[in-house]
């Protein structure tokens, strides 16, 4: 599913009018009817008859005026408010919708522009069974102030069902950032295409059930959308997942070399290797320092464990470089970093390995730390690569604050994927995958129970395990992130208490569902995104 920015959506509206000859008022009234129909469904659900529609003076308000007219034509009891503006402030197609509403049976639109109107706003919210937020929409950026802020506070405190038009007031449609008093909608009706910020938190939580309304834009126009942002879907993953021949043997299923583990951190190595095996890798070789290799050999069953030379400080020695490179180049893929350690000598080994490796490599955890101040290595590498940082690790690599990263996840993941010629998995809610050509995917799977140690190690193993099965590293990453989240959501019991190893154990069943061409999103996840009929 393609995602767009507010600016890209505005360009589509303009093209629809100028190139395809569709009047703007037609698009607006189609949007208005979609909103009205959604409100009807909500009113029937709550067995109510009264709707309050809060409109701004821009196009979002125009959708609201039109929705009010449609609802009244259906026989519902509607109160319409124009917030923070007067009739003459409403321009263009929104003014046409306002005029049609005012002429429909002499309807009144209440103008609320002063603080003394707040008690009236509160009374309206008490009156309503359903409240429609059509105040600001995609034009919002920054913070709510003054009048709008207070109205949003009143609506949120009302406890009534709220339907937002296009995007809740106070939510940035591009980044997903939101004011603390942004509208908390039960349902959001967005027009034609999902806005990129709606797939990021906190926006994803504020939009509630997200429905996409077809407002009559031609299919040819939508195909012209110049956006490189996508929502990762079951259909995409299903097409990318490798198929396995019934006559396959372990050598056909991918050879993975994993460099991981150190004193006190053998669990990370075990989880990553288990992720690779459960993702379908035929052979997994775990390379760990000699001080922990014997422990891992006892702990693990299917994995082949090899001891790497260490120096007198218990860190990987220079001799380990050739050992790792030789074994990795004889395999299909290398994964490096989980629990490996951050000592200076070990970090130097990591950097040298990355410069010499020829096979695709997954760079995670302590291997990412080794690149702090040395990101030039990424551009000197000849091997395909994927980086899997959480926001803290991404901050160390880029020098950008965590706050700024979380406010611009899609843009930054895409930017640095291009800069480093790498696939960049920016983990978090929601995880974003940037690709070297600037394409970026938002992953919809996963849950809050996955906020626990070891989940990232399992993901590293999954990506590596898939990459050894005759698909590209980028394809393996998209599939791995999606499957990792699905497995986590499926195995979680509530929002806490998930153990990372449970995700790996769930993988074969989850992948089996997708291999069978079942639409997992519809049958199991029951996502909040749907197309309105």
Q: How confident is the model at residue 464 (pLDDT cuts 50, 70, 90)?
A: very high
Order of strands, edge to edge, in the sheet holding 361-363? Answer: 194-195, 2-4, 229-231, 440-442, 432-434, 423-426, 385-387, 361-363, 333-336, 255-259, 283-289, 304-308
pLDDT, residue 497, reads 87
Q: What is the mean pLDDT of the chain?
A: 91
Q: pLDDT value at position 253?
A: 63
Kindly give the residue spans of alpha helices, DSSP state H, lying in 424-499. Answer: 455-467, 473-491
- Is the full-model pTM beyond 0.85? yes
CATH number of 2-227: 3.40.50.10260
Segment 130-188, tens digit of pLDDT: 999 999 989 898 889 888 999 999 999 999 999 999 999 999 999 999 999 999 999 99
Is pLDDT larger for residue 27 or for residue 142? Answer: 27
Answer whether 122's CB lies under 8 Å from 160's CB: no
State the Cα–Cα distance between residues 506 and 500, nearest whole angstrom.
Answer: 10
Residue 121 has pLDDT above 50, yes or no: yes
Pair of tokens at residue 394: 């991404």
pLDDT digits (tens, 9 = 90+) for 54-101: 999 999 999 999 999 999 999 999 999 999 889 999 999 999 999 999
Tell me what pLDDT residue 524 has. Answer: 41
Q: Give the pair of three-digit tokens for residue 268.
A: 């990370």
Query: What are the angstrom distances between the C-alpha of 106 and each of 90, 102, 129?
Result: 19, 6, 23
Structural domain boundaries in the chain: 2-227, 234-240+251-526
The superfamily in CATH containing domain 234-240+251-526 is Ribokinase (3.40.1190.20)
Check residue 530 and give its pLDDT: 43
Query: What are the beta bridge partners of residue 164?
Result: 133, 188
CB 20 within 8 A of CB 222: no
pLDDT tens by residue, 308-365:
999 988 899 999 999 999 999 999 999 999 999 999 999 999 999 999 999 999 999 9
Residues 6+ apart with CB under 8 A from 355: 377, 380, 381
Mean pLDDT of 296-313: 91
Assess contact for 387 and 368: CB atoms under 8 A: yes
pLDDT-derived band at 245, boundaries 50, 70, 90: low
Q: What is the DSSP letter of 31?
A: H
- Cα separation, 298 vs 202, whole angstroms: 44
Is the pLDDT reported for residue 413 higher than 60? yes
């Amino acid at each position: 599913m393609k995602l767009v920015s507010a600016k890209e959506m505005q360009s589509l509206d303009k093209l629809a009018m100028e190139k395809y000859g569709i009047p703007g008022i037609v698009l607006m009234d189609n949007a208005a009817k979609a909103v009205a129909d959604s409100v009807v469904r909500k009113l029937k659900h709550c067995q109510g008859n009264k709707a309050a529609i809060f409109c701004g003076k821009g196009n979002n308000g125009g959708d609201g005026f039109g929705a009010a007219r449609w609802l009244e034509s259906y026989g519902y009891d509607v109160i319409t408010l124009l917030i923070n503006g007067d009739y003459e402030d409403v321009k263009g197609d929104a003014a046409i919708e306002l005029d049609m509403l005012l002429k429909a049976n002499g309807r009144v639109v209440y103008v609320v522009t002063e603080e003394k109107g707040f008690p009236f706003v509160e009374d309206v919210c008490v009156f309503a069974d359903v409240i429609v937020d059509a105040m600001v929409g995609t034009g919002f950026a920054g913070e709510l102030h003054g009048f709008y802020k207070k109205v949003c506070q009143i609506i949120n405190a009302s406890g009534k069902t709220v339907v937002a038009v296009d995007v809740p007031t106070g939510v940035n449609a591009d980044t997903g950032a939101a004011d603390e008093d942004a509208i908390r909608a039960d349902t959001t009706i967005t027009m034609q295409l999902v806005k990129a910020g709606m797939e990021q938190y906190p926006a994803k939580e504020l939009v509630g059930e997200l429905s996409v309304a077809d407002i009559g834009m031609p299919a040819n126009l939508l195909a012209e959308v110049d956006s490189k942002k996508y929502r990762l879907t079951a259909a995409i993953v299903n097409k990318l997942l490798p198929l396995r021949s019934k006559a396959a043997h372990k050598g056909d299923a991918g050879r993975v070399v994993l460099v991981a583990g150190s004193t006190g951190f053998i669990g990370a190595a075990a989880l990553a290797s288990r992720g690779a095996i459960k993702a379908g890798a035929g052979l997994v070789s775990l390379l760990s320092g000699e001080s922990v290799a014997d422990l891992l050999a006892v702990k693990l069953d299917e994995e082949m464990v090899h001891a790497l030379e260490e120096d007198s400080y218990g860190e990987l020695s220079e001799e380990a470089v050739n050992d790792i490179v030789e074994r990795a180049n004889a395999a299909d893929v290398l994964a490096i970093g989980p629990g490996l350690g951050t000592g200076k000598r070990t970090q130097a080994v990591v950097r040298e390995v990355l410069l010499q490796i020829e096979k695709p490599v997954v760079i995670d955890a302590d291997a990412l730390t080794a690149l702090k101040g040395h990101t030039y290595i990424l551009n000197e590498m000849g091997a395909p690569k994927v980086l899997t940082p959480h926001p803290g690790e991404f901050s160390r690599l880029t020098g950008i604050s965590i706050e700024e990263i979380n406010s611009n996840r899609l843009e930054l993941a895409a930017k640095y994927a291009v800069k480093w010629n790498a696939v960049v998995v920016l983990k978090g809610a929601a995880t974003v995958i940037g690709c070297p050509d600037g394409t970026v995917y938002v992953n919809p799977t996963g849950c809050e129970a996955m906020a626990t140690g070891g989940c990232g190690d399992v993901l590293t193993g999954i990506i590596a395990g898939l990459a050894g099965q005759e698909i590209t590293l980028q394809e393996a990453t998209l599939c791995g992130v999606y499957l990792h989240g699905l497995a986590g959501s499926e195995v979680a019991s509530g929002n806490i208490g998930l153990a990372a190893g449970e995700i790996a154990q769930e993988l074969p069943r989850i992948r089996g569902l997708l291999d069978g061409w079942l639409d997992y999103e519809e049958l199991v996840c029951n996502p909040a995104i749907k197309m309105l009929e």
